[in-house]
Amino acid sequence: MSILGKSRLARPLDIANGRVDMSHGAGGRTMIQLIGELFLSAFDNEFLRREHDAAIFQLPPGRVVMSTDSFVVTPTFFPGGNIGSLAVHGTVNDLAMGGGVPQYLTAGFILEEGLPLAELATIVESMADAARDAGVAIVTGDTKVVEKGHGDGIYINTSGVGVVPDGIEIGGERALPGDLVLVNGTLGDHGVAVMSKRENMSFSTQILSDSQALNDLVQAMLSAVPGVRVLRDPTRGGLGATLNEIANQSGVGIELDEAQIPVRTEVKSACELLGLDPLFVANEGKLIAICPPENAENLLAIMRTHRKGKSAAIIGRVLEDSRCFVRMKTQIGGTRMVDWMAGEQLPRIC
Amino acid sequence: MSILGKSRLARPLDIANGRVDMSHGAGGRTMIQLIGELFLSAFDNEFLRREHDAAIFQLPPGRVVMSTDSFVVTPTFFPGGNIGSLAVHGTVNDLAMGGGVPQYLTAGFILEEGLPLAELATIVESMADAARDAGVAIVTGDTKVVEKGHGDGIYINTSGVGVVPDGIEIGGERALPGDLVLVNGTLGDHGVAVMSKRENMSFSTQILSDSQALNDLVQAMLSAVPGVRVLRDPTRGGLGATLNEIANQSGVGIELDEAQIPVRTEVKSACELLGLDPLFVANEGKLIAICPPENAENLLAIMRTHRKGKSAAIIGRVLEDSRCFVRMKTQIGGTRMVDWMAGEQLPRIC
């Protein structure tokens, strides 16, 4: 992102009525104006003010964790958030799940010709708010514009770096038989919020996306229990896909206890209507933690005292199983497979 | 990017005849298969093999430089490269222009439903080759799929980090009156190569994009002349936009000498046909360097001995000018303004 400090265009952007056009991505003065008046004013920080194509900063000592995610969620605005806040939360959470303290993000925009500038401004403000709340800075970016019919309003990529403190070793391959599986709250909220907006469904109680940054919760958890072995956010594919990945990476089985898995009643009902299984629906403010059994009660207590872990629960345990099966004891007393092929796959949920 | 090591799908991807479908972005087993058989096998490295949503690594000591770029070039394949090689070169070069030694990249893909897997595989191989050649590793990634009619085959975001050695201070705000302006080779090749493919033009000599990684050239330059003050790659908006940005950031004027600016004869002719000015056409393997006058001849010699700087030239000088004008002495003896509003702006050139 290269920016001209003093724009020489006579008139400011008409954010209320204007629309994105091809010139906003073509490298000329109108692109510089869009970046300056819309992005820089929202994300304002010392790195962006240097107006380089790249940001330069110092990182605290430690291993570096880096992640990237592109966001193509439809609709762009959904109950509880929009693509902008989601794009910040998603990458902050990926960094936190690596055991890292998120520090700096980048933002790459692919805008479709015709996108109302007012809509873009709202999304950018949401990104700025989400970044501030999570304690990260958006330090560099890029804007491209594609012709009408070659995008869907807006796609956003965020990439980020963080630092993993010494002594923290988190990884999907570290689960051991006997470990317990915890979750910080109710499952399926994000996917159902997006799907209900997409399908124009309304419920007596509005279902909000759980989209939120989890780095503060993770810090609290790791301070109290540095021996946490696995952290993972069950986004696309939901709890089912996430646990199957972990089971395969660690070469273990996992047994869930259905009675312990928190799912909102409204989400359950909506899932029935939509033909979905909450175990396979995306979350954007939830994490799975796996820790040694002797730490589990302590970890649970820490999570429950945190605003973002009030409904935390121990939902299962890790077993010896070379087939790497994920299974669930059902509430009626049986056992079912939780295979990640099961359940509807939802496209463009994030 | 989360990946299942041992895919349990019976049949391998049909790369020769298959196409991207919505399930490839939905978080389930077919997405894992796409990532495993196509991305991981091409980018193979120790970080990707850990199969996390984030990569963890150590960086050498120094300041960290970070950059991001989304690539939406059309057509996806052009003479001299494709969107994959371009996506690696673009971010490697942004890091190098910050004075950094590029280390690690991320790759975010937005694929359009229906994209032939064979095309995707070719692009991914080009990325892998470009990364290997530039000495960087692609350590984490993300894949999303959008419905037919909401993309244009493929969009790629790359983000990257590098390390700036102590003693190197590069910045667009550092040009001083008296400094000289150098370029490493001919201007306009990338933009004209893409436009001629887009417009189905053919010339007696094929014009190739100059897309290439410049980090090795930059290392050679900075080793010999650590006092280089500005480095910038004249991509979108070309030399004209880049020099106007620098002039404004440094609060100086710049005077170019048209006779010294290297432009291929074929590119000049194509620009005349297309109604373009080579000064405003994008480059993807070129850099502008500004250094104190006493270092310029040495820097030029270093550049000319490097394979990527054979046609390097001193093309202008920095002047005191509070209006921050960029001007050019023309070959017929006059002077013209090089304002970045002038010249056609080309959309989707990178």
- We report the CATH number of the domain holding residue A323 as 3.90.650.10
Substitution target from A8, A43, A67, A338 for chain B, most B beta carbons within 10 A:
A67
For A39, A186, A237, the CA distances from A280, given in Å and listed in that order, are: 35, 13, 5
Find the closest chain B residue to A233 by CA distance: B53
Find the closest chain B residue to A56 by CA distance: B65
Q: Do residues A78 and A192 lie in contact, with contact meaning Cβ atoms separated by under 8 Å?
A: no
pLDDT of residue B7: 44
Give B-chain residues touching A155 at CB under 8 angstroms: 110, 144, 146, 155
Substitution target from A8, A23, A66 for chain B, most B beta carbons within 10 A:
A66
Give B-chain residues touching A68 at CB under 8 angstroms: 106-108, 140-142, 157, 159
A22 and B CB contact within 8 Å: yes
Whether residue B324 sits in one domain with residue B192: yes
Whether residue A146 sits in one domain with residue A7: yes
Would you say residue B344 lies in a domain?
Answer: no
What domain count does chain B have?
Answer: 2
Q: According to DSSP H, which parts of chain A are helical?
A: 29-34, 41-43, 46-49, 83-97, 117-134, 189-198, 215-224, 238-250, 265-274, 293-305
A21 and B CB contact within 8 Å: no
Determine, for residues B151 and A149 on separate chains, whether the beta-carbon distance falls below 8 Å.
no
Whether residue B219 sits in one domain with residue B111: no
What's the CATH code of the domain at A65?
A: 3.30.1330.10
B29 and A CB contact within 8 Å: yes
Hey, what are A314's tokens? 């121990």
B149 and A CB contact within 8 Å: yes
Which residue among B64, B70, B161 sits closest to A157, beta carbon to beta carbon?
Answer: B70
Tens digit of pLDDT for each residue in B194-232?
A: 999 998 887 777 899 999 999 999 999 999 999 999 999
B 54-83 near A (Cβ less than 8 A): 54-59, 63-72
A262 and B CB contact within 8 Å: no
CA dihedral B299, B304, B305, B309 (to 10 degrees): 100
Hey, what are B274's tokens? 């297309």
CA dihedral A259, A260, A264, A266 (to 10 degrees): -10
pLDDT in tens, chain A (350 residues): 344 444 455 688 999 999 999 989 888 888 888 999 999 999 999 999 887 889 999 999 999 999 999 999 999 999 999 999 999 999 999 999 999 999 999 999 999 999 999 999 999 999 999 999 999 999 999 999 999 999 999 999 999 999 999 999 999 999 999 999 999 999 999 999 999 999 888 777 789 999 999 999 999 999 999 999 999 999 999 999 999 999 999 999 999 999 999 999 999 999 999 888 999 999 999 999 999 999 999 999 999 999 999 999 999 999 999 999 999 999 999 999 998 754 446 889 99
Would you say residue B348 lies in a domain?
Answer: no
Determine, for residues A26 and B70 on separate chains, whether the beta-carbon distance falls below 8 Å.
no
Whether residue A16 sits in one domain with residue A139: yes
Please give the ipTM for the structure prediction.
Answer: 0.95
For B128, B234, B236, B264, B284, the CA distances from B211, given in Å and listed in that order, are: 15, 12, 13, 15, 4
Whether residue B143 sits in one domain with residue B272: no
A269 and B CB contact within 8 Å: no
Rg of chain A over Cα atoms, rounded to whole angstroms, equals: 21
C-alpha neighbours within 13 Å on the C-beta side of residue A204: 3
Which residue among B27, B151, B241 sits closest to A237, beta carbon to beta carbon?
Answer: B27
Q: According to DSSP H, which parts of A73-208 are helical?
A: 83-97, 117-134, 189-198
Which residue among B72, B159, B238 sits closest to A68, beta carbon to beta carbon?
Answer: B159
Whether residue B189 sits in one domain with residue B126: no
B338 and A CB contact within 8 Å: no
Determine, for residues B25 and A347 on separate chains, whether the beta-carbon distance falls below 8 Å.
yes
Of A132, A164, A196, the position where a domain reaches its end is A164
Would you say residue A175 lies in a domain?
Answer: no
Whether residue A105 sits in one domain with residue A248: no
Determine, for residues B100 and A54 on separate chains, whether the beta-carbon distance falls below 8 Å.
yes
Would you say residue A149 lies in a domain?
Answer: yes
Distance from CA of A79 to the nearest CA of B (A): 21
Of B139, B164, B189, the position where a domain reaches its end is B164
Give B-chain residues touching A346 at CB under 8 angstroms: 26-27
Of A101, A131, A164, the position where a domain reaches its end is A164
| DSSP state for residue A311 in the 8-state scheme | T
Would you say residue B347 lies in a domain?
Answer: no
Q: Which residues of A160-186 are buried (b: 16+ CB within 10 A; e: fewer)?
A: bbbbbbeebebbbbebeeebbbbbbbb
- In the numeric block, the tokens 């770029």 are attached to B69
Whether residue B196 sits in one domain with residue B157: no
Phi, psi of B6 (to 5 degrees): -100, 100
pLDDT at residue B133 is higher than 90: yes
Determine, for residues B340 and A29 on separate chains, whether the beta-carbon distance falls below 8 Å.
yes
Hey, what are B148's tokens? 């037919």
| DSSP state for residue A28 in the 8-state scheme | S
Whether residue A226 sits in one domain with residue A141: no
Would you say residue B173 lies in a domain?
Answer: no
- In the numeric block, the tokens 């499952």 are attached to A187
Collapsing DSSP to helix, strand or coil, B61 comes out as: coil
CA distance B3 to B6: 9
Q: Which residues of A212-243 are buried (b: 16+ CB within 10 A; e: fewer)?
A: bbbbbbbebbbeebeebbbbbbbbbbbbbbbb
CA distance A331 to A328: 9
Hey, what are B108's tokens? 């975010």
Hey, what are B209's tokens? 């994009």
End-to-end CA distance of chain A: 25
φ/ψ region of B199 (left if φ > 0, alpha if ψ in -120 to 50, else beta) reads: alpha
Distance from CA of A58 to the nearest CA of B (A): 5
CA A127 to mean position of chain CA atoms: 12
Determine, for residues A106 and B66 on separate chains, whether the beta-carbon distance falls below 8 Å.
yes
Tens digit of pLDDT for each residue in B50-107?
A: 878 899 999 999 999 999 999 999 999 999 999 999 999 999 999 999 999 999 999 9
CA distance A301 to A307: 12
Whether residue A211 sits in one domain with residue A86: no
CA distance B101 to B2: 28
Q: Calculate ∠ Cα B181-B184-B187, nearest 5°.
A: 95
- Domain with B245, as residue range(s), is 180-337
Would you say residue A173 lies in a domain?
Answer: no
Whether residue A160 sits in one domain with residue A186: no
Collapsing DSSP to helix, strand or coil, B161 comes out as: strand
- Report CA torsion sign: A163, A297, A210, A280: positive
CA distance A237 to A235: 6
Whether residue B211 sits in one domain with residue B99: no
Length of chain B equals 350
Would you say residue B48 lies in a domain?
Answer: yes
Q: At what angle do helices B265-274 and B189-198 cross, to 10 degrees?
A: 50
